[in-house]
Structure 1
Amino acid sequence: MRDYVTVCRGCCCGTVKKHPDYDHEEQVRRLTALAAASGDRLRVRTADCLDACEHSNVVVVKPRGHKPVWLGFVLQDATMDDLERWLTEGGPMPATLELNRIEPPAQRA
């Protein structure tokens, strides 16, 4: 069984236009390198749009045996460090990432 990470790269997430000071390509490179180092335990993919543009950059983590965790505003190296640590070590989501947790679009009223 694998963990999955989906990185939004649609109209708002992953664009220099909306977040000119963030290296969107480096974000995907970091996650891809982490997946390569994990053997077959982690898979990273990109999505054109996850319909949560108001929270860009959006990353969805689907840990083995758990519901997906939607994270928004993943625009800081410290947030990526916490995400990488979680994906590497497993276990519960770090409390620091709770600040980035968002509701999936289908669950919003």
Structure 2
Amino acid sequence: RKHPGVDHAWQLERLRAAAAASRGRFAVRTSDCLGPCGQANIVVVQPSAEGRRKGGRASWVGFAMDDASIDEILAWAEAGGPGVAEPSATLALQLVDPRAV
């Protein structure tokens, strides 16, 4: 409702299709609100087991409002996500510190 020009259903469909194609490497969960409304949409990328062993922590990506952002998030997840792969430079600019919320 906050961003009526954004096709949220399409974004979620893309994320779910990628998760299904990943054969269990990553999953998609939804929430009504994570808090930082001024930086919506927020997507949280959790580290894999390998990523956690390497010190990876959940990363909050803000301003995920378009296909380019979803592409970047999916590419990062495919590359291993937090602790395994660095986010792209563009995605790194979108990271949100959840403690500052």
TM-score, length of structure 2 as denominator length: 0.82
Higher helix share: 2
> RMSD value over aligned CA atoms?
1.3
Q: Relative CO higher for 1 or 2, CA cutoff 8 Å, sep ≥ 6?
A: 1
Alpha-carbon distance in structure 1 between the residues aligned to 2:28 and 2:68: 19
The runs of at least 4 consecutive aligned structure 1 residues that moved more than 4 Å come to none
Structure 2 equivalent of residue 51 of structure 1: 35
Give the Å deviation of 1:51.
Answer: 1.3
Higher strand share: 1
TM-score, length of structure 1 as denominator length: 0.77
The secondary structure found in structure 2 opposite 1:28 is helix
Which residues in structure 2 correspond to 1:83-102 (within 5 Å)? 83-90=73-80, 91-102=85-96
Q: How many residue pairs end up in the alignment? A: 91
Gaps of 5+ in 1: 1-14
Alpha-carbon distance in structure 2 between the residues aligned to 1:32 and 1:74: 15
Q: Percent identity?
A: 43
